[in-house]
C-alpha cells in the first residue's frame, strides 16, 4: 500500500526527531519519557518511597522514569487499555479506566493506602473531529480528577495531560478547588504543533 503524504511526513519527523534518538540511546520506550523527566527536575514530583498511580501508562516510558526514581521503597501502579511490557516492581492493570470493575481493581491494589502522586497521560483515540475529541479528553480528565479527590493524600500532587481549547479553563478551576497551586507545564519534548498541555496540581487541600 502506498503511503500517504501525511504518513510520510510523520515518519520523517519521527526518524529525525532528536528526542526519539535520545530515547533509543537511553533505553526508554518512547520520547515521552523526557516530558516527565523535565517536569520532575523542575517540580520534584517523584520521591523514593512514594505511592504513585499512573493512568494511561502504555508503552511505559513514563513508568520507566517513575520506577527508577520511586522504587524499590515505594509502590507504582500503572494502568492502560493497551498491553504493557512488564517493568520490574510495577503493578500493571490492563483495562478501561472508565469501567467500574477496572477502578475497583486499582483500588484493591492500593489496599487502603493513600496516594502521593497521580499521573495521567490518558488521551482518547483521536477521531479528527475536534469537538468530539475534546469532549472525550475531558471525560477522562474528570474521572482522573475524581480519583485524585478520593485517593490522594493531603499535600499530594497530580500531573495531567489536557488539550488546550474548550474545557481547559473550567478544568483548571476545578483543579484549583482541590489543590492550593495549579500551574501549566509544556515540556520541550512536546511537539510544537501539539495542542497538549500539562496541568500540575501541587499540595492537595486537606478539606478542612
Q: Which residues are catalytic?
A: 161
Give the C-alpha separation, 69 to 44, whole Å.
Answer: 11
Handedness of CA 76, 81, 86, 91 (dihedral sign): positive
Distances (CA, A) of 185 to 3, 7, 109, 155, 198: 35, 29, 30, 19, 5
Alpha-carbon 198 to chain mean position: 9
Burial class of residue 72 (count of CB atoms within 10 Å of its CB; 0-12, 13-18, 19+):
exposed
Distance spanning both ends of the chain, measured CA to CA: 61
Contact present, 157 and 201 (Cβ < 8 Å): yes
Amino acid at each position: 500500500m502506498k503511503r500517504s503524504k501525511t504518513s510520510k511526513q510523520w515518519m520523517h519527523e519521527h526518524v529525525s526527531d532528536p528526542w526519539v534518538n535520545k530515547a533509543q540511546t537511553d533505553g526508554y520506550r518512547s520520547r515521552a519519557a523526557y516530558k516527565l523527566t523535565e517536569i520532575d527536575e523542575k517540580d520534584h514530583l517523584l520521591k523514593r518511597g512514594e505511592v504513585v498511580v499512573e493512568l494511561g501508562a502504555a508503552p511505559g516510558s513514563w513508568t520507566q522514569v517513575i520506577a527508577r526514581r520511586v522504587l524499590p521503597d515505594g509502590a507504582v501502579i500503572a494502568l492502560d487499555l493497551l498491553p504493557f511490557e512488564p517493568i520490574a516492581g510495577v503493578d500493571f492493570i490492563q483495562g478501561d479506566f472508565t469501567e467500574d470493575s477496572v477502578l475497583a481493581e486499582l483500588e484493591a491494589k492500593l489496599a487502603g493506602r493513600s496516594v502521593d502522586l497521580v499521573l495521567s497521560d490518558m488521551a482518547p483515540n483521536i477521531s479528527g473531529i475536534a469537538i468530539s475529541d475534546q469532549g472525550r479528553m475531558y471525560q477522562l480528565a474528570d474521572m482522573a480528577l475524581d480519583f485524585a479527590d478520593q485517593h490522594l493524600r493531603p499535600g499530594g500532587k497530580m500531573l495531567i495531560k489536557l488539550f488546550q481549547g474548550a474545557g481547559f479553563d473550567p478544568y483548571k478551576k476545578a483543579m484549583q478547588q482541590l489543590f492550593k497551586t495549579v500551574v501549566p507545564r509544556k515540556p520541550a519534548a512536546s511537539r510544537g504543533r501539539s495542542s497538549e498541555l500539562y496541568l500540575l496540581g501541587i499540595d492537595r487541600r486537606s478539606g478542612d
